[in-house]
Structures are given as structure tokens and as C-alpha cells.
Structure 1
Amino acid sequence: MRSLLPPLLVAVAAVVVVVTAFPAGADAAWTPIANPRSLVVRQVGTFAVIVYSNANPRKLKPLQLVSVVRGETQPGGIGITDYRLVLTVRNTATGSTGQYQCVVRGKPGSRAMTWQLLSFVPYKQPAV
């Protein structure tokens, strides 16, 4: 009877290589988005605003995306992309606008349920 140990070790080694190639939370370099007005980037921004607006069903926020001011991307794993965007958002109840920074993780071309809103905070201009 042959031992299953050698094939099992090869399989474990392959998994370790994949896991170490894309460690969770690895800080890859952020790359500026050349065209923040592109359809995909606007869709990511709209997703972020909708998810943030509906995060608490008891306290819905009437927010609407006005524009994507700027953004950056970084690889988040196999086919996954992280988007860090600065958004101009309008409160439809009051008419006021503000800027927010969000981080969204997802796989372009996939279904909405595979996307995640990782953060959504008021944007503060960096000091010069």
C-alpha cells in the first residue's frame, strides 16, 4: 500500500505558497486611478454610498453620489482589487454636500454580494 504522505505534503506546500504570496492585509502600493470618472469607478463609488446609507435600517441616510474626486487601487488578492476613493456626496434631505473617503474591496465583473465596504469616513484634506 502506498503512502499518501508525499502527495499530501505537496498539496500543503502549494497552499502555503498561495497564502504567503497574498497575505491578508498586505500593504501593496496604491496606484492612482487615471480616470476617476470611468463607469467602473463610479459604480464602485455608488456601491459605497448605497451600502453606507443603508448600513443601519433604523437610521437610513439619504445620501447620493455626486462625483468621484480621485482614487487609487491596489491588488487585494487573486483577482480582487481594493479601491480607495474620495467622493463628493449629497444629502438629498438637506441639499448639503461633503467629501468622504471610502475603501471598497471587490472583484471587477463579479456580483454585488462579493463586494465589501471596508470604510467610509469624512475626508480630511492632507496637510501641505
Structure 2
Amino acid sequence: MRSVLPLLVATLVVAVTAFSAGADAAWTPIANPRSLVIRQIGNFAVIVYSNADPRKFRPLALVSVVRGETQPAGTGVTDYRLVLNVRNTATGSTGLYQCVVRGRLGSRATTWELRSFVVYKQAI
């Protein structure tokens, strides 16, 4: 049993190191935020946010993805931080929103998660 203990400790250290490296990963700019895949992720965020409260439908539609960044979230999952130009279809007004979506490219829509959706405030 003693010979297994060092192997178990070494495995645990490697696992913790790998997890913490993924958790501290920096955001990387998306080279083409207007690509089809990134627009689909932005559209997903707008649809989910619009329908989040069943008592209060928000008539929003994606106009464009202004910019975006990615960050690995572990086991092939990626966080996408996007700045979206969104139109209120009831009033015609537009505004910028920042969202964070977590998912794995090529997976089903049910595995994707909208983590945040807030009005975008540019740094001064």
C-alpha cells in the first residue's frame, strides 16, 4: 500500500496543477468576431436572455458581434466573452451588451450556458 501512495499524491498534484492552469488562463481575442460560429453564439445569448423571464419577454435581436474573447474552461469547454450590438425590435433602439457564454463547439444547444448578459460599459 505504501508504494501506491506516492503515485496517488503525484496524480493529485498533476490534476490540481492542470485545473488551476485552466482556471487562470487569460482571455484571448477572437480574430474574426463576425464569423458564422461567433454570430451563432451571440444569437444564442440574445435569445436565451430575451426569454429568461417568462413573465417579461424582451424583444431583442442580434445586430452584430462587435468584439470577442475566448478562455478555456477545461475539458474542451470554452468561455466566450462577446460584446454584442443588440436591437430592441419593439422600439428600434440599439445598444451594446456584454455576455459570457460557456460551451463546446459542435455540441448540442442544451449543453451551452449563458453565464452573464449586461449592458456594456466601455472603459474610460
CA RMSD of aligned residues (A): 2.2
- Matching residue of 1:125: 122
Partner amino acid, structure 1, of 2:83: V
Asked if 1 retains the 8 angstrom alpha-carbon contact of 2:79 and 2:102, the reply is: yes
Letter in 1 for 2:45: A
Alignment correspondent of 1:43: 40
The residue aligned with 1:86 is: 83
1:5 offset after TM fit, Å? 8.6
Answering whether residue 78 of structure 2 is matched by residue 65 of structure 1, we say no
Instruction: Please give the alpha-carbon distance, in whole angstroms, between the structure 2 residues aligned to 1:117 and 1:9.
Output: 41
How many residues in Structure 1 have an aligned counterpart in Structure 2?
124
Does 10-19 or 103-112 show the bigger shift? 10-19
Q: Return 5+ residue gaps in structure 1 as ranges.
A: none
Residues 51-100 of structure 1, C-alpha deviation per residue, up to 9 Å, x if partnerless? Answer: 11111011010100000000001111011111000000001111110000
The answer as to 2:30 corresponding to 1:33 is yes
TM-score by length of 1: 0.85
CA deviation string 1:2-32 (max 9, x = no partner): xx89779857864663354124982311111
CA distance in 1, matches of 2:111, 2:10: 28
Q: 1:92 to 1:22 in 2, by over 3 A?
A: same
Give unpaired runs (5+ residues) of structure 2: none
Give the fraction of aligned pairs with identical amino acids, expressed as a percent: 75
